[in-house]
Chain A
Amino acid sequence: MLPIQRQAQLSVVVALSLVAAVAHVASADDVAIEVNGQKKGLYPLALPTAVEGDAVAKEIATVEAFDLGVAGVFKIVDPTSFLADLKAEGLGIEPPKWKDVGAYGVVKYRATASEIEFRLYEVSKGTTASLTKTYPRKGETRAIVHRWCNEVVKYYTSEPGFFGSKITFTAKRSVKQGGSAIYAMDFDGAGAYAVSNNSSTNILPAFSPSGGQIAYTSFMRNNPDLYVSSAGGGRPKKLASYKGMNTGAAWSPDGSKIALTLSKDGNPEIYVISASDGSVISRLTDNRTIDTSPAWSPDGSTIAFVSDRNGGPQIFTVPAGGGAATQVSKNGSYNTTPTWSPKKGKRIIAYTTRDGGTYDIVTLDLATGAMVRVTQNDGSNEEPAFSPNGRAIAFARAGQGVFIANADGTGKAVKVWSGSATGVDWGPAPTP
């Protein structure tokens, strides 16, 4: 029999040995494998409709779902999958319930007679809202929701949203009226109105950088001349009426100049004219083939255009101050209607390309050569225009109308206007 002191010492030693053994096993648990992923794809966002409230509550949900659904960065979580008790949650959230349905973010709101309160939750951060805004209930509810959605986009991307911006396009008038007119509308198709007010053919509208004016070509005096009118419509001012074509206006980023196609010297060439008096500043192309559809890069340094100098129509770029043209489109034998992404630090164009018997929209990163297909297997899609933040692209689908799609090719295109539309252009971001 060991003395008590000796027994105690032995117990301590045994206990320490056991602890050490457990610790050893615990460290041996770690069979570590590194998983290195890439941030890519859309952000799952849940947008539950407020349980309480009047008809406005439902309108808010509808507008919010549309806006954030076409923002180009979100994937709206299917409401039928929600597990949370919305009534019990109120303006708060139970994070595990939202995590279980795959939501990364949740937007809650509450509409009273005097105000609308919105809250954005990041599920990983728990029950504290990451962004809260309260707006007085004045004016259109849609406009209030647009403002909130712009805040959400800015929170995640640090870029301004495009909700509240406008789109302009050409649409045929009725058979009885004949010709075509220039229209403008909110980006989501609401409030469409005629910008041109003549019975002739009017085509190829282009927003000025400020969004206050629209330039377009009209045959109202038989020759295709260039006119500029207020974006709200009204009497247009004739800007360029050179002999032959005065078409395809593209404003310089500072709004002082317009690039366009003139055929005053024979065949169509790219010129730059003054936006104030229409006088010719420079001629950028000079050859015996057709050069058309100019588009000014956001930094003002380059103009993209279409030329058939190498056979079929292809996209070329030329320095805005003049110089040698370079072919940039390399796919297929038919590429037209280039437009520049406004994304800062990037040189990305979108254009129409022919694929078999139909046309589709693609984007091309001029720095890397990377191409992204924006539309496919769904109608004939032409004449793209980037949203003010470059996340979305509007385009015309033949015989169907104006659509919006994510510029990165994800998701499905959404129709915002029904009819026979062409010549789509997207105006600048709304002022906050």
Chain B
Amino acid sequence: MALEEGELHAFAALGTVLVSAAMMLPFLLPVIFVDRCGNGGADAVRDPMEDMVVIEASLAMRKNPKKPQQPQKQFKAPDDTKKPDGVSRDENKKPDKKPDDEKDKKPDVKEPDLDISKYKRPDSDDPTGKVTEPFNPNASVDVGRDAETKGDPYFGKLKNDMNYQPPEIAKGDSNPIGCIRLEPDGKISDTKFKQTTDDDLQIAAETALKQLVKARNDKPEEVPAHLLQYTSRWICFQFSVKPS
């Protein structure tokens, strides 16, 4: 059955519309879907897409590790400044410097590489130096003699703030015992010496206790709840020196 020219045109136009619609469908569908879901839904759609991209990218990274390479020879451009071999006719020319005689170098000792700058003192004006070892609350297991104070970081900091350090030539090896009254706000309200000695270590202990009082009253650290029971008691420090 033959078609009229007008019918042919109509079929052709319809076919064109159908083919075009079919080609546009993948792009139109998400738009329709998004419109149905509203703005909140737009995120819900966008995120999984973006995730996929991210995941693919990361997989791509994992799937393509840097391939191991064989050792590569380093190529170097020829040295333009290289002087020509032969005898120079320049009477003012100085002889070329000879390379070091490698035979004289003994390879058995490593080239020293320590940097002297690391031996610099923290403060050259400080005649006795500063205690440079920082307090580590987690390492204060030696703090306290009693089970109740042993290992507690708050007591460890108290000890640290005293900076007990008798002079090198201090005489004596006694064990003075000094005590403090700690208030809940962290200030020290009173001190006493439960055991005094008659050597230099007594002065060192008194100095240490004064330093602690000053440090804590200038910058109090509130007593933690689990230690408040000690604010009604004397907290005593037994001073001793490490054998040299």
Residues of A within 8 A of B (CB): 28-44, 73, 75, 99, 102, 104, 122-126, 156-157, 287-289, 309-311, 314, 327, 329-333, 353-356, 360, 362, 371-373, 376-378, 409-412
Known: A36-B242, A41-B167. Is A75-B128 also a contact (CB below 8 A)?
Answer: yes
Q: Of B106, B111, B206, B242, which contacts A37 at CB under 8 A?
A: B242
Which residues on B sit within 8 Å (CB–CB) of A104? 167, 170, 200, 203
Whether A124 pairs with B198 at a CB distance below 8 angstroms is yes
Whether A373 pairs with B116 at a CB distance below 8 angstroms is yes
Whether A378 pairs with B124 at a CB distance below 8 angstroms is yes
Known: A40-B165, A310-B111, A327-B109. Is A34-B145 also a contact (CB below 8 A)?
Answer: yes
- Tell me whether B129 is interfacial, beta carbon within 8 Å: yes
The smallest C-beta distance from A221 to any residue of chain B, in angstroms, reads 33
Known: A35-B159, A37-B165, A331-B112. Is A30-B234 also a contact (CB below 8 A)?
Answer: yes
Residues 198-244 of B contacting A (Cβ, < 8 Å): 198-204, 206-208, 230, 233-242, 244
Q: Mark B115-140, 1 if CB is under 8 A from A, else 0.
A: 11101110011011100000000000
Which residues on A sit within 8 Å (CB–CB) of B109? 310, 327
Q: A124-B197, A373-B119, A412-B127 are in contact. List 15 more A-B contacts (CB 8 A).
A: A29-B179, A29-B236, A33-B159, A33-B236, A34-B142, A37-B204, A41-B165, A42-B168, A73-B168, A104-B200, A331-B112, A331-B115, A372-B119, A373-B120, A412-B125
Closest A residue, CB atoms, query B103: A288
Whether A311 pairs with B105 at a CB distance below 8 angstroms is yes
- Tell me whether B144 is interfacial, beta carbon within 8 Å: yes
Whether A332 pairs with B112 at a CB distance below 8 angstroms is yes
Known: A38-B165, A41-B167, A124-B203. Is A31-B112 also a contact (CB below 8 A)?
Answer: no
Which residues on A sit within 8 Å (CB–CB) of B234? 29-31
The smallest C-beta distance from A11 to any residue of chain B, in angstroms, reads 29
The smallest C-beta distance from A266 to any residue of chain B, in angstroms, reads 13
**For the complex, what is the distance from the CA of A371 to the CA of B112, rounded to whole Å?**
14
Which residues on A sit within 8 Å (CB–CB) of B114? 330-332
Which residues on B sit within 8 Å (CB–CB) of A362? 116, 119
Whether B235 pairs with A31 at a CB distance below 8 angstroms is yes
* 6 closest cross-chain pairs (CB), A and B: A41-B128, A37-B164, A43-B167, A331-B114, A373-B119, A32-B145
Whether B112 pairs with A330 at a CB distance below 8 angstroms is yes
Whether A102 pairs with B169 at a CB distance below 8 angstroms is no
Which residues on A sit within 8 Å (CB–CB) of B120? 373, 376-377
**For the complex, what is the distance from the CA of A329 to the CA of B143, rounded to whole Å?**
39
Whether B104 pairs with A38 at a CB distance below 8 angstroms is no
Interface size class of B (residues with CB under 8 A): 35 or more
Whether B242 pairs with A289 at a CB distance below 8 angstroms is no
Whether B169 pairs with A156 at a CB distance below 8 angstroms is yes
Whether A102 pairs with B198 at a CB distance below 8 angstroms is no
- Tell me whether B9 is interfacial, beta carbon within 8 Å: no
**For the complex, what is the distance from the CA of A86 to the CA of B32, rounded to whole Å?**
100
Whether B116 pairs with A331 at a CB distance below 8 angstroms is yes
Interface centre among B149, B179, B200 (most CB of A within 10 A): B200
Which residues on B sit within 8 Å (CB–CB) of A287? 104
Which residues on A sit within 8 Å (CB–CB) of B168? 39-43, 73
Which residues on B sit within 8 Å (CB–CB) of A39? 165-170, 241-242, 244
The smallest C-beta distance from A80 to any residue of chain B, in angstroms, reads 16
Which residues on B sit within 8 Å (CB–CB) of A371? 119
- Tell me whether B193 is interfacial, beta carbon within 8 Å: no
Which residues on B sit within 8 Å (CB–CB) of A41? 127-129, 165, 167-168
The smallest C-beta distance from A124 to any residue of chain B, in angstroms, reads 5
Whether A376 pairs with B106 at a CB distance below 8 angstroms is no
Closest A residue, CB atoms, query B196: A124
Known: A34-B145, A288-B101. Is A314-B112 also a contact (CB below 8 A)?
Answer: yes
Known: A288-B101, A310-B111, A362-B119. Is A35-B238 also a contact (CB below 8 A)?
Answer: yes
Which residues on B sit within 8 Å (CB–CB) of A34? 142-145, 237-238, 240
Q: Of A99, A126, A354, which contacts B198 at CB under 8 A?
A: A126
Which residues on A sit within 8 Å (CB–CB) of B171? 122, 156
**For the complex, what is the distance from the CA of A410 to the CA of B106, rounded to whole Å?**
38
Q: Of B112, B129, B206, which contacts A410 at CB under 8 A?
A: B129
18 sample A-B contacts, Cβ–Cβ < 8 Å, listed by A number? A31-B146, A31-B148, A31-B234, A32-B237, A33-B144, A33-B235, A34-B240, A41-B167, A42-B168, A99-B203, A102-B207, A288-B101, A288-B104, A311-B111, A329-B112, A331-B114, A331-B119, A373-B120
Closest A residue, CB atoms, query B208: A35
Closest B residue, CB atoms, query A406: B127
Which residues on B sit within 8 Å (CB–CB) of A29? 179, 233-234, 236
Which residues on B sit within 8 Å (CB–CB) of A31? 144, 146, 148-149, 230, 233-236
The smallest C-beta distance from A343 to any residue of chain B, in angstroms, reads 13
Which residues on B sit within 8 Å (CB–CB) of A355? 116-117
Known: A75-B128, A376-B124. Is A35-B164 also a contact (CB below 8 A)?
Answer: yes
**For the complex, what is the distance from the CA of A309 to the CA of B165, rounded to whole Å?**
44
- Tell me whether B158 is interfacial, beta carbon within 8 Å: yes
The smallest C-beta distance from B41 to any residue of chain A, in angstroms, reads 65
Closest A residue, CB atoms, query B202: A124
The smallest C-beta distance from A331 to any residue of chain B, in angstroms, reads 4
Closest B residue, CB atoms, query A75: B127
Closest A residue, CB atoms, query B238: A34
Closest A residue, CB atoms, query B233: A29
The smallest C-beta distance from A107 to any residue of chain B, in angstroms, reads 15
Whether B112 pairs with A124 at a CB distance below 8 angstroms is no
Which residues on A sit within 8 Å (CB–CB) of B112? 314, 327, 329-333
Whether A32 pairs with B238 at a CB distance below 8 angstroms is yes
Which residues on B sit within 8 Å (CB–CB) of A28? 233
The smallest C-beta distance from A157 to any residue of chain B, in angstroms, reads 6
Residues 15-50 of B contacting A (Cβ, < 8 Å): none
